């Protein structure tokens, strides 16, 4: 995959990622650790109301990307927001708690929802076994082997992580970004020489003789997609 043209450090591509999974699996804690390097005790973290999101600049393999990461409520009463926040997502992180088997068993339901509402069949999927720090406390209910086997069966990426200790947290998001980059259908039309729009940025996508995609940044626009307040959101994206 050739991205040789993306060398201008002022040129930033934007990817939309979702965090989904049962309530209490630590989705908000993962997001807070990744974006702000902050850890709060469980009693200091309130349940997400509807949808919240954060923006994080990240450098992957020498290139800069802007991630808009949506943290979604796991409670059933907020599922009416489903179709809106799945729209346009390029990566989805499905989170379970390694110390709570029910959250692992419910992943199949989350996959069903993902397949129903995702706007792309090629969306990158990552399963995360969170709270891996509980290993030492003897409260683990889902082994790493089980998590890996399920991810393999579903054809997804897999990482065990701990928002508390920071273990694996950055790996989650970096691996998703790399997989998105390696999936041209998520950000480029499958036609040589076509022009596409990715998060307010115009690109010329040209396929080389070797079948690789060279991306030429044509024009950078400014697009503020989302407004969020107290966990509620207004979607500004018109794509």
**CATH number belonging to domain 13-181:** 3.40.50.300
Q: What is the pLDDT of residue 135?
A: 75
Could you tell me if 68 and 226 are in contact, meaning their C-beta atoms sit under 8 angstroms apart?
A: yes
How far CA 40 is from CA of 89, 179, 212, in Å, comes to: 27, 30, 44
Strand 213-220: give its sheet, edge to edge: 194-198, 201-207, 213-220
pTM of the prediction? 0.73
Q: Where are the domains of the chain?
A: 13-181, 189-235
Q: What is the pLDDT of residue 39?
A: 79
* Tens digit of pLDDT at every position of the chain (239 positions): 444 444 344 457 899 999 999 989 999 999 999 999 987 766 555 554 446 778 999 999 999 999 999 987 655 444 555 677 888 999 999 999 999 999 999 999 999 999 999 989 999 999 999 999 987 667 899 999 999 999 999 999 999 999 999 999 999 999 999 999 999 999 764 333 444 444 434 444 444 443 433 333 333 332 333 333 333 333 333 23
Q: Where are the alpha helices (DSSP H) in the chain?
A: 27-36, 82-86, 101-105, 107-117, 144-154, 169-181
Q: What is the pLDDT of residue 144?
A: 96
Q: What is the pLDDT of residue 80?
A: 55
Q: What is the pLDDT of residue 86?
A: 87
Could you tell me if 6 and 217 are in contact, meaning their C-beta atoms sit under 8 angstroms apart?
A: yes
């Amino acid at each position: 995959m050739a991205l040789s043209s993306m060398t201008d450090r002022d040129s930033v591509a934007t990817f939309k990622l979702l965090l989904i999974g049962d309530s209490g699996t630590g989705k908000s804690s993962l997001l807070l650790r990744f974006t702000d390097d902050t850890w709060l005790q469980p009693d200091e973290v309130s349940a997400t109301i509807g949808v919240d999101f954060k923006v994080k600049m990240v450098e992957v393999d020498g290139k800069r990307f802007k991630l808009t990461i949506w943290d979604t409520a796991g409670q059933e009463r907020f599922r009416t927001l489903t179709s809106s926040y799945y729209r346009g997502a390029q990566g989805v992180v499905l989170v379970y708690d390694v110390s709570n088997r029910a959250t692992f068993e419910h992943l199949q339901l989350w996959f069903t929802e993902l397949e129903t509402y995702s706007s792309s069949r090629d969306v990158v999927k990552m399963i995360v076994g969170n709270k891996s720090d509980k290993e030492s406390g003897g409260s683990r209910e889902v082994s790493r082997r089980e998590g890996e086997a399920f991810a393999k069966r579903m054809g997804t990426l897999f990482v065990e992580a701990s928002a508390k200790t920071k273990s694996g947290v950055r790996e989650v998001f970096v691996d998703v970004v790399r997989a998105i980059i390696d999936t041209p259908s998520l950000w480029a039309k499958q036609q040589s020489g076509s022009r596409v729009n990715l998060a307010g940025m115009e690109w010329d996508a040209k396929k080389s003789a070797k079948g690789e995609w060279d991306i030429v940044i044509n024009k950078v626009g400014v697009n503020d997609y989302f407004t969020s307040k107290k966990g509620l959101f207004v979607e500004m994206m018109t794509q």
